[in-house]
Amino acid sequence: MIEAEGLTKFYGPRGAIKDVSFQVEKGEVVGFLGPNGAGKSTTIRILTCYIPPSSGTATVEGLDILEDSLRIRQTIGYLPESVPLYNELTVDRFLRFAAGAKGVGAKRIGAEISRVVSTCGLEKVSNRIIGNLSKGFKQRVGLAQALLNNPSVLILDEPTIGLDPTQIIEIRRIIEELREDRTILLSSHILPEVAQICKRVVIINKGQIVATDSPANLTSQLQKTSTIVLELSGPHEEFTRAVENLPGVQKVLRTSNGTSKFQIETDPTVDMRPDIAALAVRKGCGLLELRTLQLSLEEIFMQLVTEESTQEGAES
């Protein structure tokens, strides 16, 4: 389990994160999401004991980041944003070195390396020099290093950054396989990626947490209006006038030149589709399509992040 409570960090006079609090329960995979510069790496570096917070506290598996930093570093698997690989070593030599540093006993090193090499699909490259590998394979080596000693907590900072789509799918597959029984915090600035893997997301913007919820709840809570897409056949002037006056309808937009397609913005707390369908039938219009338009998570993310800036603008 990971618990962060009121984490604040200043780099000199400059504040990077402010009062960051969240939890990742045992066995949970949580996405830590925010635009570049939001404070993800800073938070992660504090949780992995690479830098201390200016104030606030955090524990990882019950260990305190200030008092038990060495044990935390041996307990967790950490994939930093830029993986510190030794480019002149072979994959196998590097993993042996990393296993030693993580306190894996000499007798277990061989078995432990075979395990992580197999999990990350590195069998074919284990004798290759790291510097000559593709970015995707380098990332897998970084992940293999994080998995040494079979950590119960994994902290992955932008694990798919700079990878091509095939490599991203591969890394995602490996993370999916690892989720069993593990607590995973995974940072990203790409929303769909996090939404695919994580049941819960923590969104950070300008150093502060702006939302914590499941992707589905975020979608429904943040939708200020619900949009219904409608397509009719036949004459619909009467329908158009009537639908604008239906209680719960906020705005009616025609979206095509043929004027047979509509986007109807409605109160998100009521499903207006039955009323709209009934009205279309009453007015003698053929109903070709009627569905709710879902806001994408990307749109919600933008909404959250821009709302913050607008509020700030209003305050200053």
SS3 144: helix
As measured in angstroms, the least distance from the Cβ of 305 to ligand ADP is: 12
Q: Which residues bind ligand ADP (CB under 6 A)?
A: 11, 14, 16, 34, 36-42
As measured in angstroms, the least distance from the Cβ of 309 to ligand ADP is: 15
As measured in angstroms, the least distance from the Cβ of 35 to ligand ADP is: 7
Nearer to ligand ADP, 11 or 97 (CB): 11
Residue 163: partners with Cβ closer than 8 Å, 6 or more residues away: 135, 136, 139, 171
End-to-end CA distance of the chain: 38
Q: Read off the amino acid at residue 89.
A: L
Nearer to ligand ADP, 11 or 86 (CB): 11
Tokens of 298: 């990307």
Nearer to ligand ADP, 112 or 158 (CB): 158
Nearer to ligand ADP, 38 or 156 (CB): 38
Cα distance between residue 77 and residue 95, in whole Å: 13
Tokens of 196: 């695919």
Nearer to ligand ADP, 13 or 62 (CB): 13
**Rounded to the nearest 5 degrees, what angle is found at the Cα of 228, between the Cα atoms of 226 and 234?**
160
As measured in angstroms, the least distance from the Cβ of 10 to ligand ADP is: 9
Strands (E), the chain: 2-11, 14-24, 29-33, 55-60, 63-64, 76-79, 153-157, 183-188, 200-205, 208-213, 226-233, 249-254, 261-266, 286-293
Nearer to ligand ADP, 157 or 170 (CB): 157
As measured in angstroms, the least distance from the Cβ of 139 to ligand ADP is: 17
As measured in angstroms, the least distance from the Cβ of 9 to ligand ADP is: 8
Tokens of 156: 């992955």
